[in-house]
Amino acid sequence: MQRSHVHLNGRITPADQAVISLFDVGLLRGYAVFDLLRTIHGRPFLLAEHLRRFRASAEYLNLRVPATDEEIAGAIGELLARNGHAEATVRLLLTGGISPNGMGFDPETPTFAILTHELPELPARIYESGGKLITEEHQREIPEAKTTNYLTMLRNLPRVERAGALDVLYHAGGRVSEAASASFYVVRDGTVVAPRDRVLPGTVGTFVLGLAKERYEMVHEDVSLEDAYSADEAFLTSTTRGIVPIVQLDDRPIGNGVVGPVTRDLMSRFRKAAFGEE
């Protein structure tokens, strides 16, 4: 484990000494939510949006985040200064706290932690030439809240690697929803299409849709798996990876298999808006 610190229940703690009770209901029962943001030039990107979503996830579980936005921002700043990442991801985690009988717990004593990791970087060629997704029939159980339940994603990782893919695109009932760790959008006849319903609202996705609306038609509607296969363009958005062009879905090319003009334009404008790059 990296020699770094975390924030655990209000205290800065060395990462290798950061422990929770075996009776934590986040461990025993998966009763936990999180959020993940990234830094750009060392500063949290879309912090307010991530905090808003984190609080909404907590509310879905009837949990209270035991800190104000200002306190959380301060703790993040302190951790980033100590841990010295070039760029970081910052993970907020909230559980129901200790459950002596593996069932009940006191919502007044949650477990709240902030962890940082070194930002993982995709190879540059993926942004230049596009990447591949594989598909799986699956519906995230609770898309409305960002719970810690990523079992299906982790279980699929070896299959994703074997396929040379970036991620798995989930579909259920004939409709695609999102990738395991990213939002998914298609472009059809110059219109940007966002799958609607039963999808976690992506913070970067929402930011990118804002850019898209300035120049393109943008609709939220059902997207079938066939719609996805036959789209002109497709792309992912995620906190850690920004906009990632998708040029292959399973064994089929998207459009003519190269990064399309709308995706390229959005990537360029996202870099300017988020990173200040000209």
- 8 is a site residue for a copy of itself (CB under 8 A): yes
**Of 1 and 81, CB closest to a copy of itself:** 1
- Residues 61-90 touching a copy of itself, rule: CB under 8 A, are 61-62, 89
CB of 5 to a copy of itself, least distance (A): 11
End-to-end CA distance of the chain: 37
Q: Which of the stretches 60-68, 127-135, 244-252, 262-270 binds a copy of itself when contact is defined by CB under 8 A?
A: 60-68
Cβ atoms within 10 Å, residue 171: 21
Out of 12, 23, 40, 73, the residue judged to bind a copy of itself by CB under 8 A: 23
Q: Which of 47, 52, 87, 148: binder of a copy of itself (CB under 8 A)?
A: 148
Span from 16-24, 48-56, 245-253, 269-277 in contact with a copy of itself (CB under 8 A): 16-24
Contact 194, 209 (CB under 8 A): yes
For position 271 contacting a copy of itself by CB under 8 A, the verdict is: no
Kindly state the helix (H) or strand (E) to which residue 263 belongs, with its residue range: helix 261-270
* Closer of 108 and 251 to a copy of itself (Cβ): 108
Kind of pairing between the strands at 242-249 and 252-253: antiparallel
Looking at the Cβ atoms of 18 and 134, the one nearer to a copy of itself is 18
| Residue 27 parent element (H or E) | helix 25-28
Say how many residues touch a copy of itself, by CB under 8 A: 54
Contacting residue, 77, 120, 210, 253, with a copy of itself by CB under 8 A: 120
The DSSP secondary structure of 203-232, one letter per residue, reads: HHHHHHHHHHHTTSEEEEE--BHHHHHT-S
For a copy of itself, which residue of 12, 27, 56, 225 counts as binding (CB under 8 A)? 27
In terms of DSSP H, where are the helices of 62-173?
A: 69-83, 124-129, 151-162
CA 148-139-47 angle, 5° bins: 45
Q: Which is nearer to a copy of itself, 15 or 225 (CB)?
A: 15
CA-derived radius of gyration, the chain: 19
Q: How far apart are CA 46 and CA 100, in angstroms?
A: 37
List contacts with a copy of itself (CB under 8 A).
1-2, 6, 8, 15, 18-32, 34, 60-62, 89, 91, 93, 95-96, 98, 100-104, 113, 115, 117-118, 120, 140-142, 147-155, 157-158
